[in-house]
Structure 1
Amino acid sequence: MDTTFSAIANNIKNRRSVKPAAMNGNKIPNGHIAAILELANWAPTHALTEPWHFIVYENPAEFCKQHAELYEANSLGDNFNPTVFTNLTHQGDKASHVIIAVMKRGNLPKIPQFEEIAAASCAVQNLLLGATSLNIASFWSTGGMALRPAFKEFFKFGEEDAIMGVLYLGYADQYPEGKRNTPVEEKITWIK
C-alpha cells in the first residue's frame, strides 16, 4: 500500500477519546484550532448545504461555568445534584479549548435531516482526525446539558438544528490503548 494510505490509516487507527480530566492543561495554538476547523469544513455534504457550525471557547472555564449554570437553572427542585454541578463546572479545567459542534439546518428542506446530521458528524470526525495528526487529545461529549433543548436555546439555534456535542481539546501525556470488540470480518457481508 502506498504511504498516503498508510499515513491516513495510522491516523484513523490512533485517534482516541481522552477525557478532559486526563489532559495536561497545556494550550493549543489558535492556529492549530483554525487548521483543524478548516479540515472540518471539507466534510461531505449533500447539495453543498455545509450544515456544520462550531462555537470555539478559547477559555474552557467560561464554557464550563455557563454549562453548570444552565444545568442549575434547568434542574427543578430535587433534580438538582450538587455533584453534577461541580463536575460540569470543572469538566474543562485541563482542556485547552472547548468547541460546541452543531448541525445548523440550511434552507433546503428537501435534504433529509438525517443527511445533515451525517454531514455534521463527518465534519466532527475530520476535526478529530486533524487533531490526532497534531497530537491534540480530544473528547466528544454529549453529557450534561448538551442534548437538552435548553442548551440549544442558550446558543440561539433553531428547532431543526441539532447540537452534535461538546468537543474538549487539549494535550495529554498518555493516551488510552485502542481496541475493537468485534472483528471487522463479522461486520461485513460480501456479495458476489
Structure 2
Amino acid sequence: MNKPIFNVEEVNKIIRNRRSMFVAQFRENDPVDDNIISELLENANWAPTHKLTEPWRFVVFSGEGLKKFADFQSELYKKRSEESGNFMEATYNKLKENPLKASHIIAIGMKRDLKANLPEMEEVAAVAMAVQNMYLTASARGLAAYWGTGGPTFWPEAKEFFGLEEEDKLMGFFYVAKPASDRWPQGKRSPIADKVTWVK
C-alpha cells in the first residue's frame, strides 16, 4: 500500500470544529440514514487498540428501539430511586422522553479481554478514541451529536441489557440527530501553551 495523501487543512478543520449538540438542538422526526450511522461505526472500528483487542462494543437504537431504550432506563431509574426514596418525576420523564427526540442512540461498551493482560485504562482509552472517530465523522456530516454518561451508565445491573458482563464497562451513550438549525456552535478553548511543557 502506498503512503496515503491527506488534506491536512481539512483534518485540522474537522478536529477543531467538532462540536457537541444536545437534545434541545435536535431536529425531531427526521432520522439520519442508517448508512451514515454505519459509516460512524466503521470509522470507530479504526481507533488505536493495544494488542488489537478492539474493546469497543456498540448497541444501536433507532425507530421502535428508541422506545425500548427509553422504557428500560426510565423504569430502571424508577425502581432504583423508589428503593432509595429519591424518585423525581422530572428525571423519570426526561429519561423516558429524551431518547425519542434522537435519530439514533449508540450505547458505548468496553468489552474486557482479561487474557490480553492490559491495564483497564488502555481499553477505556481505546473506546474513547473510537467515540472520537464517531464524533469527527458526525461533525463532518453536519450532524448533531453528543456523548452523555447519564441514565444507566453507572448502574451495574444495566450492563446485561447492553450485552456486557460484570468485568466490562458501560461508558455512556452517543446521541445522533440532524440539527434543528444551520447554525454551528462556537468553540472555546484556552491556549494550548498553558497546558504544555516543552523539554529540549
Matching residue of 2:36: 32
Q: In 1, Cα distance between the equivalents of 2:33 and 2:8?
A: 28
TM-score (norm 1): 0.93
Matching residue of 1:189: 197
Matching residue of 2:171: 164
Give 1:61 deviation, angstroms: 2.9
**One-letter amino acid of the structure 2 residue matched with residue 86 of structure 1:** N
Of 12, 15, 18, the match for 1:15:
18
**Structure 2 CA distance for partners of 1:187 and 1:77, relative to 1, 3 Å:** closer
Of 114, 126, 137, the match for 1:130:
137
Give 1:62 deviation, angstroms: 2.7
Between the aligned residues of both structures, percent identity stands at: 39
Matching residue of 1:68: 74
Unaligned stretches of 5+ residues in structure 1: none
Give 1:34 deviation, angstroms: 0.4
Q: In 1, Cα distance between the equivalents of 2:59 and 2:193?
A: 39
Q: In 2, Cα distance between the equivalents of 1:159 and 1:61?
A: 25
8 Å Cα contact 2:55/2:112 also seen in 1: yes
Matching residue of 1:108: 115
Q: In 2, Cα distance between the equivalents of 1:23 and 1:92?
A: 11
Matching residue of 2:92: 85
8 Å Cα contact 1:54/1:100 also seen in 2: yes
Matching residue of 2:9: 6
Q: In 2, Cα distance between the equivalents of 1:112 and 1:66?
A: 31
8 Å Cα contact 1:45/1:119 also seen in 2: yes
**One-letter amino acid of the structure 1 residue matched with residue 77 of structure 2:** Y
**One-letter amino acid of the structure 2 residue matched with residue 14 of structure 1:** N
Q: Which moved more, 1:5-14 or 1:69-78?
A: 69-78
**One-letter amino acid of the structure 1 residue matched with residue 87 of structure 2:** F
Matching residue of 1:149: 156
Q: Which moved more, 1:127-136 or 1:60-69?
A: 60-69
